[in-house]
Amino acid sequence: MSVVDGSTWEPSRRELERRAVRRARARRDILVATVALVVVLGALVIGITSAPGWDRVRETFFNWDEAKASFPQVIKGFGKNVVVFLVAEPCILVVGAGVAVIRSTVSPVMLPFRVLAVVYADVFRGIPTILLVYLAGIGIPALELQGLTTNTLWLGTGALVVSYGAYVSEVFRAGIESIHPSQLASADTLGLSRWQSMVHVILPQATRRVAPPLLNDFISLQKDTALLSVIFVFEAMFSAQDYTNYHFNYTPLVVAAVLFIGLTIPLTRFTDWFARRMMRREFAGVAK
Amino acid sequence: MSHEALLEATGVRKTYGEKVVLDDVDLVVRPHDVICLIGSSGSGKSTLLRCLNLLEDVDDGVIEFEGREISDPRVDRRAVRSRMGMVFQSYNLFPHLSVLDNCTIAPRRVHGVPKAEAEQRAHDLLTRFGLADQASKHPDRMSGGQQQRAALVRALCTQPTLLLLDEITAALDPELVGEVLTIVRELAEQGTTMILATHEMAFARDIASTVCFLDQGRILEHGSPARMFSRPREERTRQFLARVLPQT
């Protein structure tokens, strides 16, 4: 066995050959990927544009002039979608985590709250979100209660929080239950109270674990802000429909769709990146 | 190039970033050899096994298996692995499958063995290793020793020509170590070719045909267990053995 100083190591000819093979393969993979992409996209474009009704569809859905004319109105509405999303998201996190924590308590005093939490999750996950938005936006003002807002924007936001809070509470609960009982046992042996264990040991781990599905729910929420159109909130969807009704052209709906995509894609990429980073962290050390 | 070698590694190098984990490692394994890799944690034992099984790409050097270079990037890794078995320290049984299904998945899906035949073979091996009544259980229901024996059976079910064992008793308590080592000893006596990374020095002395001492990514010294344990040449080997061998 020859002893070679590590610092003076030079790759052998065999290794250089191997690297060349790997590089050649990487180049070939890129070429294959490019060709596959062009062929598949090309086939899609040709398939759609050669459809018999394509000319009419292009005129009514993809009209550049109509897009330009409707853009100011649609983007103004879209601002409301963003506001609703930004307000609803933190509220949903609090409601979801709170309900999940209540459901995982064991104290007898907490029983009524546990029952309420179960009923809440069962009922509001069962009702279609669009019905909740209707009920909140039209039913609550009809009660004519003093001191309660009749602003449909905020009532609709509340409906989204209630509906998504129920979903997210189940995501959190799954995360809490996935933490191994030995974690709770070791927190117990350190003398932490149940509440302290939950706050300092269980919930941080659970949240990390369910972050990808949580972000997934938030991408879904971004789109569901368009449901507020059914209670006449002038958000992107409703603004686009409004324009459509006056100009008999559906292009504004496509404009709204593009705006939504522009918002969800960055969040989707962020979700992917976040999940990958977590994989690397939690499974580090496999390859010593 | 020795023609009778089953596996031959020459000048194997592996780095993680700046850290050199394996440095110019040579290893020859002939049929029926039992090679024991010893050395402290971080000396490169596991990495060497992972490189041999192509779980890691080497950064230099050549690995030949059954007369073919397997360190070539063009080699079909799955074909190589279907001839090599590996058992890990933490068992790595599939928790969603019963022991029997763990043992038949590779023969059936990779080697195309008919279900009945694969199950028969698994049952025979499980019986031999005292696990006949555990076949329908899921891994988490068994003790560590039982799980590790099941993992050995899983590796043997594909009838590999070379078995790689990576510190397979390190996670077991002393009482359970024995039941796993008994099986390995039996396999060695039957002529199974094996490379094992181990901390069980007494066991290595008993069954090894060659003992290799790894230190900082190099095979510092190798030889028959009789010589290695009684007359090590290197000071570093002496120090290591003095620390790990029971004082007699």
For chain B, how many residues are written? 248
Q: Are B212 and B193 in contact (CB under 8 A)?
A: no
- Please write the tens of the pLDDT for every residue from A202-212: 998 898 889 88
Whole-prediction pTM value?
A: 0.75
B62 touches chain A (CB under 8 A): yes
| CB-CB neighbors (< 8 A) of A11 in chain B | 59-60
Within a domain: A99: yes
Within a domain: B73: yes
Binary contact (B71, A18; C-beta < 8 A): yes
The CA R_g of chain A, rounded to the nearest whole Å, is 27
| CB-CB neighbors (< 8 A) of B46 in chain A | 288
CA of A21: which chain B residue's CA is closest?
Answer: B73
- Please write the tens of the pLDDT for every residue from A103-125: 988 889 999 999 999 999 999 99
In which domain, by residue range, is B4 found? Answer: 1-42+58-78+212-248
Instruction: Count the alpha carbons within 13 Å of B145 in the hemisphere toward its beta carbon.
Output: 15
Residue A286 has pLDDT above 50, yes or no: no
Contacts 24+ apart (CB under 8 A), A82-89: A82/A263, A84/A153, A84/A156, A84/A157, A84/A160, A84/A225, A84/A228, A84/A235, A85/A221, A85/A222, A85/A225, A87/A157, A88/A157, A88/A160, A88/A161, A88/A164, A88/A221, A88/A225, A89/A218, A89/A221
Q: Which of B13, B46, B218 sits opposite A288 (nearest CB)?
A: B46
> What pLDDT does A171 receive?
95
Q: Are residues B101 and B175 in the same domain?
A: yes
Q: Are B65 and B77 in contact (CB under 8 A)?
A: no
B61 touches chain A (CB under 8 A): yes
Q: Are residues B107 and B157 in the same domain?
A: yes
CA of B221: which chain A residue's CA is closest?
Answer: A1
Q: How many domains does chain A have?
A: 1
State how far the Cα of B4 lies from the Cα of B28, in Å rounded to an integer. Answer: 10
Residue type, A29: D
Residue A288 has pLDDT above 50, yes or no: no
B46 touches chain A (CB under 8 A): yes
Task: Tell me the C-alpha to C-alpha distance, in Å, between residue B137 and each of A183, B107, B116, B143.
Answer: 26, 19, 19, 11
Q: Are B35 and B26 in contact (CB under 8 A)?
A: no
What is the distance between the terminal CA atoms of chain B, rounded to a whole angstrom? Answer: 42
Share of chain A above pLDDT 90, in %: 53
A14 touches chain B (CB under 8 A): yes
Within a domain: A242: yes
Within a domain: A279: no
Task: Tell me the C-alpha to C-alpha distance, in Å, between residue B120 and each of A118, B98, B101, B104, B154.
Answer: 49, 15, 12, 9, 13
Within a domain: A55: no
> What pLDDT does A6 receive?
52
State how far the Cα of B168 lies from the Cα of B153, in Å rounded to an integer. Answer: 13
A11 touches chain B (CB under 8 A): yes
- Please write the tens of the pLDDT for every residue from A213-258: 898 899 899 999 999 998 888 889 899 999 998 988 899 999 999 9
Tell me the pLDDT of chain A averaged across its residues.
89
Within a domain: A183: yes
Residue A7's pLDDT band (boundaries 50, 70, 90)?
low
Within a domain: B207: no
Q: Nearest C-alpha of chain A: how many angstroms from B194?
A: 21
Within a domain: A17: no
State how far the Cα of A172 lies from the Cα of A159, in Å rounded to an integer. Answer: 20
Q: Which helix (H) or strand (E) holds B69?
A: strand B68-69
State how far the Cα of A232 lies from the Cα of A230, in Å rounded to an integer. Answer: 5
Binary contact (A25, B73; C-beta < 8 A): yes
Within a domain: A190: yes
Helix axes A203-224, A64-103, angle to 10 degrees: 150
| CB-CB neighbors (< 8 A) of A12 in chain B | 11, 60-61
> What pLDDT does B6 receive?
94
What is the distance between the terminal CA atoms of chain A, rounded to a whole angstrom? Answer: 25
Q: Nearest C-alpha of chain B: how many angstroms from A185?
A: 19
Binary contact (A1, B23; C-beta < 8 A): no
Residue A7, φ and ψ in degrees, nearest 5:
-75, -20
Rounded mean pLDDT for each run of 10 residues along chain B, 248 residues in total: 80 91 94 94 92 92 93 90 91 92 92 94 93 93 92 93 93 86 91 93 91 94 93 92 77
Domain boundary among B139, B162, B180: B180
Within a domain: B193: no
- Please write the tens of the pLDDT for every residue from A140-169: 888 888 777 778 899 999 999 999 999 999
The CATH number that applies at residue B127 is 3.40.50.300
Q: How many domains does chain B have?
A: 2
B56 touches chain A (CB under 8 A): yes
Check residue B173 and report its DSSP letter.
-
**Tokens linked to A238:** 């409703």
In which domain, by residue range, is A244 found? Answer: 67-274
The B210-215 sheet, strands edge to edge: B84-87, B162-166, B194-197, B34-38, B210-215, B218-223
Q: Are residues B62 and B116 in the same domain?
A: no
The CATH number that applies at residue A121 is 1.10.3720.10
Residue whose entry in the numeric block shows the structure tokens 């909130």: A233
Q: Are residues B154 and B104 in the same domain?
A: yes
Q: What single string gives the DSSP state of each residue in A75-143?
A: HHHHHHHHHHHHHHHHHHHHHHHHHHHHHT---GGGHHHHHHHHHHHHHHHHS-HHHHHHIIIIIHHHT
| CB-CB neighbors (< 8 A) of A14 in chain B | 60-62
Binary contact (A12, B47; C-beta < 8 A): no
Residue A11, SS3 per DSSP: coil
Within a domain: A27: no
Helix axes A251-282, A203-224, angle to 10 degrees: 170
Within a domain: B216: yes
Q: Are residues B64 and B133 in the same domain?
A: no
B170 touches chain A (CB under 8 A): no
Q: Which of A2, A11, A14 sits opposite B24 (nearest CB)?
A: A2
Binary contact (A15, B61; C-beta < 8 A): yes
State how far the Cα of A164 lies from the Cα of B132, in Å rounded to an integer. Answer: 50
Domain boundary among B180, B199, B228: B180
ipTM above 0.85, yes or no: no
Residue A5 has pLDDT above 70, yes or no: no
